[in-house]
Amino acid sequence: MEQAPPNPRVFLITGSRKGIGAYLVNHYLAQGHQVVGCSRKESEQKSPNYRHFCLDVSDEDAVKQMFAAISDSYGRLDVLVNNAGIASMNHLLLSSAQTAREIIETNFMGTFLMCREAARLMRKGHFGRIINFASVATPLKLEGEAIYAASKAAVLSFTQIAAREFADFGITVNAVAPTPIETDLIRSVPREKLDQLVSRQAVKRLGEMRDVANVTDFFIRPESDFITGQVLFLGGV
Amino acid sequence: MSNQERVETAVYKAVDELNKQLPKGSHVEKSLDAVLYGKSGKLESIDVVTLIMEVEDQIKAEFGTAITIADDKAMSQENSPFSTLGTLTKYVAELLNENGASPA
């Protein structure tokens, strides 16, 4: 087993201003960890153990600057949670190229840039836990979510290969694939569509943020050093 | 110290960092003739990746310039920059020149 870093650990959670990201920030702050977050807008999180960066996760220069600041301030990074993501539900025939690009940029390029920079920092301590966000939209082949599901399929494939390439550095890379959870991401999805989706799950209920935290808790445990390249679909999808 | 010597020093510091992670029999000699990759090289591909990252870090620390060594340009060179420490040092100096850091 790899030597786990001492507590408190240093976390980076992207898309941390609201939704699942904000929930995970509070979850890990409550456990006494140091948490860095980022989003396009300012955060309302006031904990002295929290530091926020305003950036677009697909902006390479901004991402590099944030990691330089993390390296200067904390000297290491133990956990990266790549939560930032956007969605746009629309029929393919009506989808704009601009919207498609934005989804790919945020969901895939953002994940790639964060993983690369995080692994460069994590390798120095020969320990790291990276958790990406896939989606049940990919295996369920949701109509109206073609671009979003494709971006998450890219994240899934990327996760499995990154796990192999980072293993020699003591870094695990896994993904959690949530079902719909009551957040802004699904606000525009009609209730009827959500009900149809939930009916295709083994456990027929909307996901909750604690369901996601349960998975991230599992992936980051020191004892989970033999678990990498895995994608955990919630709700029995 | 000339800028060329600063590049060499940075590369050698990167070698020191790499050697800390290698078994003794696999250490890279701090010589411009040291073979990195290829038929007579003794480094695994993951070790070359580590060395390249260490060189980028050392160059950033020495010159304050962020360079990307393993890009399409490096891969398309007739003579690989990753053959020896000498070819790597020369290529890094060229990159710094292009970035306006004037190492040569």
Main-chain phi, psi angles of A155, to 5 degrees: -65, -40
Question: Once rounded to an integer, what is the mean pLDDT over residues A141-147?
Answer: 93
Give the pLDDT score at B78: 83
Say if CB A155 and CB A132 are below 8 A apart. Answer: yes
Minimum CA–CA partner of A168 in chain B: B46
Tens digits of residue pLDDT in A99-121: 999 999 999 999 999 999 999 99
User: Per-residue pLDDT averaged across A73-81, rounded?
Assistant: 97
Tokens of B56: 């980028």
In the predicted structure, residue B14 carries a pLDDT above the cut 90: yes
- The DSSP result for A41-92, as a single string, is S------TTEEEEE--TT-HHHHHHHHHHHHHHHS---EEEE---------G
Per cent of chain A over pLDDT 90 is 88
Number of Cβ atoms within 10 Å of the Cβ of A52? 19
Residue A14 is predicted with a pLDDT of 98
Instruction: Tell me what pLDDT residue B73 has.
Output: 87
Give the residue-averaged pLDDT of A197-202: 94
pLDDT at A218 over 80: yes
Chain B nearest CA to A124, separation (Å): 10
Q: Which two tokens stand for residue B70?
A: 């393993």
**What integer pLDDT is reported at residue B41 of this predicted model?**
76
The Cα–Cα gap between A186 and A132 comes to 19
Give 3-state DSSP helix, strand, coil % of chain A, rounded to 5: 50, 15, 35
**In sequence order, which residues have a C-beta less than 8 Å from that of residue B60 and are 6 or more positions away?**
B66, B67
The residues facing A51 across adjacent strands are: A36
Cβ distance of A123 and B53 shorter than 8 Å: yes
- Tell the residue number behind the tokens 């029995």, with chain if given: A236
- Cα separation of A142 and A9, whole Å? 37
pTM of the predicted model as reported, rounded to 2 decimal places? 0.91
Decide if B65 touches A, using CB distance below 8 A.
Answer: no
Say how far apart CA A123 and CA B18 lie, in whole Å: 12
Identify the pLDDT of residue B37: 82
Each residue of A14-61: pLDDT tens digit? 999 999 999 999 999 999 999 999 999 999 999 999 999 999 999 999
Q: Do B50 and A123 touch (CB under 8 A)?
A: yes
Q: Do B46 and A123 touch (CB under 8 A)?
A: no
Q: Which helix (H) or strand (E) holds A35?
A: strand A34-39
Residue B100: burial class (beta carbons within 10 Å; 0-12, 13-18, 19+)? exposed
Nearest-angstrom CA–CA distance, B60 and B55 = 8
Which chain A residue is nearest to residue B56, measuring alpha carbons? A120
Q: What is the pLDDT of residue B100?
A: 79
Could you confirm whether A148 is annotated as catalytic?
yes
Continuous segment of H or E residues that includes residue A171:
strand A171-177
pLDDT for res A18: 95
- Note the maximum CA span of chain B: 39
CA atoms of A157 and A176, how far apart (whole Å)? 13
Predicted confidence at residue A2, as pLDDT, reads 57
Query: Which residue among B46, B53, B66 places its CB closest to the CB of A168?
Result: B46
Q: How confident is the model over B58-103, as pLDDT tens digits?
A: 999 999 999 999 988 888 888 889 999 999 999 999 999 998 776 5
Instruction: Report pLDDT digits (tens) over B35-67.
Output: 998 777 778 889 999 999 999 999 999 999 999
What is the overall mean pLDDT for chain A? 95
Please report the pLDDT score of residue B57 as a whole number.
Answer: 94
A19 within 8 A of A185, measured Cβ to Cβ: yes
Using an 8 Å CB-CB cutoff, list chain A residues near B50: 123
Please, what is the Cα angle at B58 between B76 and B42, to 5 degrees? 60
Residue B24 reports pLDDT greater than 80: yes
| DSSP helix/strand/coil, A103 | helix
